[in-house]
């Protein structure tokens, strides 16, 4: 999402009024699915955030290098400087997130540009990938996708221009166990796909994943399986392909694709705002090759698992939400180990959520534990009446999180507080404690 995009911002009064009407007459397609049992002796808590104040870092992404270095990227610095584009922003921490420094990713002349959506990935050999988007706020259109690659823990970078097409939008990058790097994006005419098999030195654009829809998310499995979430919204919300709501899976490195309908029910609308704000519909593969899909609707937060590469799915409702839940994100670790985030509510009821999820091999409901809800320091200022109170704002369309090599879990959130002149990001460390397993009815 871009500062100038108009997906969420937000006609909050209209959204709230709409939800008051529709909440009482929710769809019945998911009725009857039992909420998962919870283990009362399993707790999840979040420490006070570690704030890093620097440039604006909307929709930040986080990864951990094999040597333990944490990297966070985000966008928004260009808009604070008044420029149309700027050098892409990236930070690193060598002490577990306690302190951060800016990474020199190169100059505009080197191709290191970006002022919108970002993504990060790390290969098993330590190669770091940094995908960026250039967005033109004057016409509300993306116009360029680039990928930066570093094989020396961020010390030096090589940049490649992947696309310079009107409506370029929402890049994602992931790396397979054999080192093949995959990047997807959309341009209003379907989902594009490029690969590199030489550590990012050269890139080859392959046939489109799908001729319609947007690049909502990308996941790579333990055997190199690739899954792409294709949704009806693309081109920064300016194009809507009715009925495009699918997951494309490739088992040959993205040469051929099999498409299946996405599991579950979602309320879609042009622009992605009503009645549930939507953009990223996350996917994740766990270490044993199970594929997961996470989404929200007016009935709550839902998880589906496929053990046959997306052909069939088992679905569970993870949580009911008295307020509308939206903008979920999902990561997977070892077999059946997942973590998720999402937002709920508006204005005074607005808050963020983090959860740990354990999924067994059978059909039993997952075990789920949530931390107490939390509130990132991200706000929207009224541009017409700047003296009015700020309102809470996700400052992006997900809250990224990551399992760490030491077994920990971290969440990164944007800091966007114009009133206090605070800009940057926060790192939230999640503490998990397990006791004797006692299922509750």
Average pLDDT estimate for 207-224: 98
Domain assignment present for 27:
no
Q: Which residues contact 172 (CB under 8 A, 6 or more apart)?
A: 119, 131, 183, 184, 185, 215, 217, 218
If DSSP codes are grouped into helix, strand and coil, which group holds residue 291? strand
Over residues 17-57, the pLDDT tens digits come to: 343 334 443 333 444 444 455 445 899 999 999 999 999 99
Domain assignment present for 20:
no
Domain assignment present for 12:
no
Instruction: Give the domain extent around 382.
Output: 37-434
Domain count, the chain: 1
Domain assignment present for 32:
no
CATH value at residue 70: 2.120.10.80
Task: Give the whole-angstrom CA distance, residue 122 versus residue 150.
Answer: 10
Task: Give the whole-angstrom CA distance, residue 102 versus residue 16.
Answer: 39
Domain assignment present for 6:
no
Pick the more confident residue, 87 or 156.
Answer: 156
HSE, CB side, 13 Å, CA atoms: give it for residue 311.
Answer: 4
Cα distances (Å, whole numbers) of residue 387 to 81, 356, 382, 397, 418 = 22, 40, 8, 26, 11
Domain assignment present for 29:
no
Please report the sign of the dihedral spanned by the C-alpha atoms of residue 57, residue 162, residue 128, residue 221: positive
Task: Give the whole-angstrom CA distance, residue 402 versus residue 68.
Answer: 13
If DSSP codes are grouped into helix, strand and coil, which group holds residue 427? strand
β partners of residue 305: 292, 314
Domain assignment present for 9:
no
β partners of residue 248: 228, 259
Task: Give the whole-angstrom CA distance, residue 133 versus residue 16.
Answer: 32
Q: Which of 357, 307, 309, 308 is nearest to 329 (CA)?
A: 357
HSE, CB side, 13 Å, CA atoms: give it for residue 153.
Answer: 10
Q: Which residues contact 215 (CB under 8 A, 6 or more apart)?
A: 169, 170, 171, 172, 184, 185, 186, 191, 192, 209, 228, 229, 230, 234
**Residue carrying structure tokens 């020199």:** 104
Task: Give the whole-angstrom CA distance, residue 72 versus residue 68.
Answer: 13
Please give the structure tokens belonging to residue 378. Answer: 């991200």
Domain assignment present for 242:
yes
Cα distances (Å, whole numbers) of residue 134 to 24, 280, 367, 374 = 41, 19, 41, 31
Task: Give the whole-angstrom CA distance, residue 133 versus residue 314.
Answer: 35
Q: Which of 215, 294, 207, 311 is nearest to 260 (CA)?
A: 311
HSE, CB side, 13 Å, CA atoms: give it for residue 73.
Answer: 28
pTM of the model: 0.91
Please provide the average confidence, as pLDDT, over all residues in the chain: 90
Please give the structure tokens belonging to residue 313. Answer: 């799915």
Over residues 384-438, the pLDDT tens digits come to: 888 899 999 999 999 999 999 999 999 999 999 999 999 999 999 999 998 754 4
pLDDT of residue 430: 97
* Residue 71 pLDDT level (bands cut at 50, 70, 90): very high
Over residues 84-113, the pLDDT tens digits come to: 657 789 999 999 999 999 999 999 999 999
Q: Which of 178, 191, 75, 62 is nearest to 121 (CA)?
A: 62
């Amino acid at each position: 999402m871009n500062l100038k995009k108009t997906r969420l911002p937000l006609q909050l009064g209209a959204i709230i009024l709409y939800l008051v009407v529709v909440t009482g007459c929710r769809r019945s397609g998911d009725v009857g699915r039992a909420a998962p049992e919870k283990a009362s002796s399993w707790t999840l808590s979040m420490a006070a955030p570690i704030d890093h104040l620097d440039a604006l870092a909307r929709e930040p992404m986080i990864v951990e290098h094999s040597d333990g270095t944490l990297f966070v990227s985000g966008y928004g610095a260009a808009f604070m400087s008044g420029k149309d584009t700027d050098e892409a922003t990236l930070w690193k921490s060598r002490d577990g997130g306690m302190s951060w420094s800016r990474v020199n990713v190169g100059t505009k002349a080197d191709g290191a540009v970006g002022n919108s959506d970002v993504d990060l990935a790390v290969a098993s050999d330590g190669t770091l990938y940094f995908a960026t988007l250039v967005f033109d706020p004057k016409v509300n259109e993306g116009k360029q996708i680039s990928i930066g690659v570093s094989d020396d823990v961020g010390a030096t970078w090589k940049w490649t221009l992947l696309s310079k097409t009107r409506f370029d939008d929402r890049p994602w990058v992931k790396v397979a166990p054999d080192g093949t790097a995959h990047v997807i994006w959309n341009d209003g005419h379907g989902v594009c796909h490029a690969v590199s098999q030489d550590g990012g030195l050269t890139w080859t654009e392959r046939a489109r994943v799908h001729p319609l829809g947007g690049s909502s998310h990308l996941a790579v499995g333990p055997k190199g399986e690739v899954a792409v979430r294709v949704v009806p919204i693309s081109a920064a919300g300016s194009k809507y392909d009715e009925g495009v709501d699918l997951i494309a899976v490739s088992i040959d490195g993205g040469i051929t694709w099999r498409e299946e309908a996405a599991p579950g029910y979602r309320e879609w609308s042009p622009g992605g705002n009503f009645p549930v704000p939507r953009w990223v519909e996350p996917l994740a593969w766990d270490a044993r090759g199970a594929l997961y899909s996470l989404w929200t609707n007016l009935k709550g937060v839902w998880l589906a698992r496929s053990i046959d590469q997306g052909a069939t799915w088992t679905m569970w409702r993870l949580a009911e939400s008295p307020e509308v839940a939206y903008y979920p994100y999902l990561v997977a670790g070892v077999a059946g180990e997942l973590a998720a985030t999402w937002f709920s509510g508006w204005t005074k009821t607005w808050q963020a959520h983090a959860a740990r999820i354990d999924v067994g091999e059978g059909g039993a409901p997952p075990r789920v534990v949530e931390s107490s809800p939390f509130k990132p320091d991200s706000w929207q200022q009224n541009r017409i009446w700047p003296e009015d109170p700020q309102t809470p704002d996700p400052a992006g369309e997900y809250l990224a999180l990551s399992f760490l090599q030491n077994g920990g879990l971290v969440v990164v959130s944007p800091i966007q507080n114009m009133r206090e002149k605070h800009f940057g990001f926060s790192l939230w460390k999640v503490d998990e404690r397990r006791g004797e397993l006692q299922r509750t009815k």
